[in-house]
Amino acid sequence: MDPEIREKILEFQRNEITEHYVYRELAKRSKNNADILNKIADDELRHYKFWRAFTEEDVEPDRRKIRKYLFIARIFGVTFAIKMMEMGEGEAQEAYGAMRGKIKGVDAIIADEVEHERALIAMIKEEKIDYVGSMVLGLNDALVELTGALAGLSFALQNTRLIGIVGLITGLAAAMSMASSEYLSRKSEKFDRPGKAAAYTGLAYFLTVMLLIAPYFIFNHYYVALAGTLIGGLFAIFIFTFFVSVVQELPFKRLFAEMAALSFGIAAISFLIGVIIRTFFGVEI
């Protein structure tokens, strides 16, 4: 066998056995999806054995990659971890395609990677994914409403502690209001668990509120605090749109740009409103 081809096949083996162990470990931690994950793990092991038949050499899994994806699964959920891992499958499929005509049976492996595993992954049920819509609602509303409110209050009041307290009260009230609205909306749609949907909406809103108002309790100058809020908001948008884009296989850049433009556009308008109100009413604090 050509030494270059042999090295590529050994790399394929390492990837397949690594993913086998990742899926096997995820199956142990996921009662509802254990059967599906074990089935995918078996497929990966079968692929590993397919490649091993050509090299007649065993390879060790990438322990670092295993730990990485298990950690991601613990923080962001099984579906996110799997789809992150499968994002690398595009390169693997191209590499497998280069073996057409050189290795017999490679087409069946490619078909497995493209069709079979994707079908199995689509069957995975996870609570975090079922309530992505509720989390998007809470996060998006908090970013748009509170970022705008804090921007307006910053110039109108010009007192960081006061702005932070007003923002906290406003944010908590809005979080409860959003959770209530989500509950009633889901209940009217005869959704199975409207209470959980409401909880996810309220929690996403509350966590975003805490992130956005924190700078006003840390910094003394309202411009610095506002800058901190905008940076925190941008960070929240980045993390959440990345999560949604991976899980729902949507274009990240477009989602990020839309959400950032909406939040920062409202913040700019609200800041101008704050300027007008302070000037018109002569607010001095």
How do residues 7-26 score in pLDDT, each as one tens digit?
888 988 999 999 999 999 99
Pick the residue with more confidence: 131 or 69?
69
With a cut of 90, say whether residue 262 has pLDDT above it.
no
With a cut of 60, say whether residue 75 has pLDDT above it.
yes
Q: Which of 92-101, 125-134, 152-161, 251-260 has maximum average pLDDT?
A: 251-260
Taken as a whole, the chain contains a residue count of 285
CA 33 to CA 264: how far, in whole Å?
40
Q: Look at residue 62 in the predicted model and tell me its pLDDT.
A: 94
Q: Which of 43, 120, 39, 32 is nearest to 77 (CA)?
A: 32
The alpha carbon dihedral of 37, 39, 45, 48 has a sign of negative
Q: Look at residue 282 in the predicted model and tell me its pLDDT.
A: 62
In the block, residue with structure tokens 């699964």? 73
Judge whether 206 and 172 are in contact, CB under 8 Å. yes
Which pair of tokens denotes residue 174?
């809005």
Mean pLDDT of 138-149: 80
Judge whether 146 and 212 are in contact, CB under 8 Å. yes
Calculate the average pLDDT of the chain: 83
Which pair of tokens denotes residue 219?
């910094």
Which whole-number Å values give the CA distances from 259 to 68, 131, 140, 200, 205, in the listed order?
Answer: 29, 19, 8, 19, 15
The pTM of the full predicted model, rounded to 2 decimals, is: 0.69
Judge whether 28 and 60 are in contact, CB under 8 Å. no
- Percent of all residues in the chain with a pLDDT value above 70, rounded to a whole number: 85
Judge whether 225 and 160 are in contact, CB under 8 Å. yes
Task: Go through 39-54 and write b for each residue having 16 or more CB atoms within 10 A of its CB, e for each that does not.
Answer: ebbebbbebbebbbeb
Q: Look at residue 71 in the predicted model and tell me its pLDDT.
A: 93
| In the chain, domain spans | 3-126, 131-281
Contacts of residue 101, defined as CB under 8 A and 6 or more positions apart, other chains included, come to none
Q: Look at residue 267 in the predicted model and tell me its pLDDT.
A: 73
CA 55 to CA 228: how far, in whole Å?
55
CA 231 to CA 146: how far, in whole Å?
14
Judge whether 110 and 96 are in contact, CB under 8 Å. yes
Q: Look at residue 128 in the predicted model and tell me its pLDDT.
A: 67
Pick the residue with more confidence: 152 or 45?
45
Q: Look at residue 97 in the predicted model and tell me its pLDDT.
A: 66
CA 200 to CA 221: how far, in whole Å?
33
**At 152, which amino acid appears?**
G
In the block, residue with structure tokens 């908590």? 172
Mean pLDDT of 174-197: 84
Split at pLDDT 50, 70, 90, the class of 6 is: confident
Split at pLDDT 50, 70, 90, the class of 284 is: low
Q: Look at residue 4 in the predicted model and tell me its pLDDT.
A: 81
With a cut of 60, say whether residue 285 has pLDDT above it.
no
